[in-house]
Amino acid sequence: MIQHTDNITIIQATPENFDGWDQMHALLSDCFAYMAPRISPPSSLNRLTAADLANKAASEDCFIALHDDTLIGCVFGKAQDTTYYLGKLAISPKSRGTGLARRLIACCAARAKELGKTDLELETRIELIENHAAFAALGFRETARTTHAGFSRPTSITFQRPIDTLDT
DSSP 42: P
Asked if residue 41 has a cis previous peptide bond (ω within 30° of 0), the answer is yes
- Measured distance between the N- and C-terminal CA atoms of the chain, rounded to whole angstroms: 12
3-state helix, strand, coil in the chain (%, to 5): 35, 35, 30
Distance CA 21, CA 102 (A): 22
Question: Computed from CA positions of residues 147, 153, 155, 156, in that sequence, does the dihedral angle turn out positive or negative?
Answer: positive
Condensed to tens digits (0 to 9), the pLDDT of residues 26-53 reads 999 999 999 999 999 999 999 999 999 9
User: Going residue by residue through the chain (168 aa), what tens digit of pLDDT does each one get?
Assistant: 566 667 899 999 999 999 999 999 999 999 999 999 999 999 999 999 999 999 999 999 999 999 988 999 999 999 999 999 999 999 999 999 999 999 999 999 999 999 999 999 999 999 999 999 999 999 999 999 999 999 999 999 999 999 976 554
